Amino acid sequence: MNRQHLAELSAFISVARERSFTRAAAQLGVTPSALSHSMRALEERLGLRLLNRTTRSVTPTEAGERMLHALGPRFDEIEAEVAGLSALRDKPAGTVRISADEHSMATVLWPRLRPILREYPDVHVEIATDYTLTDIVAERFDAGVRFGEIVAKDMIAVPIGPDARMLAVASPTYFAARGRPRTLEELTGHDCINLRLPTYGGLYAWEFERDGRELRVRVEGQLTFSSLLPILEATLDGFGICYVPQSLVQAHLDSGALEVVLAEWSPPFPGYHLYYPSRRQPTPAFAAIVEGLRYRPER
């Protein structure tokens, strides 16, 4: 097989994974028209249609899906081995892609990344921030960041921050007007600020625990947001009670701008972890990121 044929197969994998000539062409550094022409040449050479094309999308045919599943992992292995050659350099180099939410990005990931990036100027990091439970393998991320208790068991999980805690908080102005809930049941009679989870489209049910007893409370109120920062702003403005990570509101608790209720129902739990597939072959750049992010409690 000549080099042109290998290039065509590699290009096909990009198109099949991205489901788009435009996005795949941007990855490969070619024009969409040139990529489309190359795919037609591949199909003609094989005598098979590999891609279904419409004005809106590109999807693999049955033959295309079979080729993608057969060749994709092998090309990934080649890329990993080539990237691993950077071990022969004096310093780690390469790109590491990480999926994280906004809160972990702001409170843990970025503060710990800064010194790593200064130490290794040839290491490049791409971070995609969202609140979905991203499939890091399917989306071809090197790693993800989530709370330890929601990381899949088949992943390697490395702690990058201290234990976390969720707290129900509101402003003194709100409590003065509406009173303070003394039980979980009383939360349903208050204005609470909801978080909509983009992965499933539903509202986050507030999770509480006390003496081994776990309860989920579904709350109601005027406001629903899809991220934490607007929830914090609305809470500071007195629009209701929110249930958020302690690290997000600690400064406001210290200043008295917010107050906690039902703290006895909010025990600590494993904080943010960097996770990645156990079968992943770590490159020197990835290994440097993992070791630099690893949380080491002060003794």
The answer on pLDDT for 23 being more than 70 is: yes
Residue 52: what pLDDT? 92
Phi and psi angles of residue 237, each rounded to the nearest 5 degrees, phi first: -80, 0
When pLDDT is cut at 50, 70 and 90, the band that residue 110 belongs to is very high
Residue 32: what pLDDT? 87
Q: Closest by alpha carbon to 259, among 241, 277, 283, 245?
A: 241
Distance from the Cα of residue 270 to its chain's centroid: 17
Tell me which amino acid residue 276 is: Y
When pLDDT is cut at 50, 70 and 90, the band that residue 207 belongs to is very high
Residue 245: what pLDDT? 93
pLDDT tens digits for range 38-60: 999 889 988 999 999 887 789 99
What are the residues whose beta carbons fall under 8 Å from the beta carbon of 104, sequence distance 6 or more? 145, 146, 161, 272
Residue 83: what pLDDT? 66
CB-side neighbour CA atoms (13 Å) of 39: 26
Averaged pLDDT for residues 100-122: 91
**In angstroms, rounded to a whole number, what is the distance separating the alpha carbons of residues 250 and 244?**
11
pLDDT tens digits for range 150-163: 888 888 899 999 99
Q: Whole-model pTM?
A: 0.67
Share of the chain above pLDDT 70, in %: 93
SS3 (DSSP) at 35: helix
The answer on pLDDT for 87 being more than 60 is: no
Averaged pLDDT for residues 177-203: 88
Out of 60-69, 149-158, 243-252, pick the least confident: 149-158
DSSP character string of 193-230: -EEB-TTTSSBPPEEEEETTEEEEE----S-EESSHHH
When pLDDT is cut at 50, 70 and 90, the band that residue 27 belongs to is confident
The answer on pLDDT for 189 being more than 60 is: yes
Tell me which amino acid residue 93 is: A
When pLDDT is cut at 50, 70 and 90, the band that residue 133 belongs to is confident
**In angstroms, rounded to a whole number, what is the distance separating the alpha carbons of residues 81 and 83?**
5
When pLDDT is cut at 50, 70 and 90, the band that residue 223 belongs to is very high
Helix axes 246-255, 228-236, angle to 10 degrees: 20
Q: What is the mean pLDDT of the chain?
A: 88
The answer on pLDDT for 280 being more than 80 is: no
Element of type H or E holding 268: none
Which residue in the block uniquely carries the two structure tokens 């080729």?
67
The answer on pLDDT for 88 being more than 80 is: no
Averaged pLDDT for residues 167-196: 95
Contact status, residue 120 vs residue 91, Cβ threshold 8 Å: yes
Q: Which two tokens stand for residue 73?
A: 């992992």
CB-side neighbour CA atoms (13 Å) of 9: 18
**In angstroms, rounded to a whole number, what is the distance separating the alpha carbons of residues 38 and 7?**
9
Q: Which residue has the higher pLDDT, 282 or 35?
A: 35
